[in-house]
Amino acid sequence: MRKQRLVAAGITVLAATLALSACGSRSESGGGASGSSEKVAKIGVIAPLSGDLSALGLGIRNSVDLAIRQANDKNLIPGWKLEMDAQDDQATPDVGKNAATKLAGDDEVVGVVGTLNSSVSQSVQPVLSAATITQVSPANTNPTLTKGADLSNPKRSYPGYFRTCTTDAVQGPVAAQYAYEAGYKKVATIHDKKAYGQGLVAAFTEAFKAAGGEIVDAETINPDDKDFSAVISKVKSSNPQLVYYGGEYPQAGPLSQQAKAAGLSVPLMGGDGIFDPAYIQLAGKTSNGDLATSVGAPTETLDSAKQFVSDYSAAGFKEPYGAYGAYSFDAANAIINGLKTSLASASDAKSARQATIDAVQKVSFEGATGPVAFDEFGDTTNKVITVYKVTDGKWATEATKTAK
Q: What is the pLDDT of residues 303-322, one digit of tens each?
A: 999 999 999 999 999 999 99
Domain count, the chain: 2
Q: State the pLDDT at residue 33.
A: 41
By residue count, the chain amounts to 404
Q: What DSSP state is assigned to residue 105?
A: T
Q: How far apart are CA 253 and CA 395, in angstroms?
A: 13
In this structure, the answer to whether residues 136 and 181 fall within a common structural domain is no
CATH of the domain at 352: 3.40.50.2300
Whether the per-residue pLDDT at 4 is higher than 90: the answer is: no
In this structure, the answer to whether residues 205 and 133 fall within a common structural domain is no
Secondary structure (DSSP) of 154-192:
---S-TTEEESS--HHHHHHHHHHHHHHTT--EEEEEE-
Identify whether the C-beta of residue 132 lies closer than 8 Å to the C-beta of residue 353: yes
Q: What is the pLDDT of residues 231-283, one digit of tens each?
A: 999 999 999 999 999 999 999 999 999 999 999 999 999 999 999 999 999 99
In this structure, the answer to whether residues 248 and 396 fall within a common structural domain is yes
Terminus-to-terminus CA distance in the chain, angstroms? 55
Would residue 249 count as lying in a domain? yes
Whether the per-residue pLDDT at 10 is higher than 80: the answer is: no
Could you give the percent of the chain with pLDDT greater than 90? 90
Q: State the pLDDT at residue 366.
A: 97
Would residue 140 count as lying in a domain? yes
Q: What is the pLDDT of residues 34-64, one digit of tens each?
A: 445 799 999 999 999 999 999 999 999 999 9
In this structure, the answer to whether residues 290 and 176 fall within a common structural domain is yes
In this structure, the answer to whether residues 59 and 179 fall within a common structural domain is no
Could you give the percent of the chain with pLDDT greater than 70? 91
In this structure, the answer to whether residues 117 and 190 fall within a common structural domain is no
CA distances, 27 to each of 58, 78, 276 (Å)? 17, 19, 30
Rounded mean pLDDT of 132-148? 96
Burial class of 132 by CB neighbour count within 10 A (0 to 12, 13 to 18, 19+): middle
Quote the pTM value: 0.85
Q: State the pLDDT at residue 31.
A: 45
Rounded mean pLDDT of 13-27? 34
Q: What is the pLDDT of residues 196-217, one digit of tens each?
A: 999 999 999 999 999 999 999 9
Would residue 196 count as lying in a domain? yes
Provide the pLDDT confidence category of residue 21 given band limits of 50, 70 and 90.
very low
Rounded mean pLDDT of 162-171? 95
Whether the per-residue pLDDT at 332 is higher than 50: the answer is: yes
Quickly count: other Cβ atoms within 10 Å of residue 21's Cβ. 8
In this structure, the answer to whether residues 130 and 219 fall within a common structural domain is no
Would residue 14 count as lying in a domain? no
In this structure, the answer to whether residues 336 and 192 fall within a common structural domain is no
Whether the per-residue pLDDT at 12 is higher than 70: the answer is: no
Would residue 7 count as lying in a domain? no
Question: To the nearest whole number, what is the mean pLDDT of the chain?
Answer: 91
Would residue 306 count as lying in a domain? yes
Would residue 5 count as lying in a domain? no
In this structure, the answer to whether residues 74 and 114 fall within a common structural domain is yes
Q: Which domain holds residue 160?
A: 28-166+301-373
In this structure, the answer to whether residues 55 and 96 fall within a common structural domain is yes
Partners of 380 in beta bridges: 374
Whether the per-residue pLDDT at 285 is higher than 60: the answer is: yes
More confident: 260 or 18 = 260
Would residue 32 count as lying in a domain? yes
In this structure, the answer to whether residues 251 and 389 fall within a common structural domain is yes
In this structure, the answer to whether residues 181 and 110 fall within a common structural domain is no
Q: State the pLDDT at residue 199.
A: 93
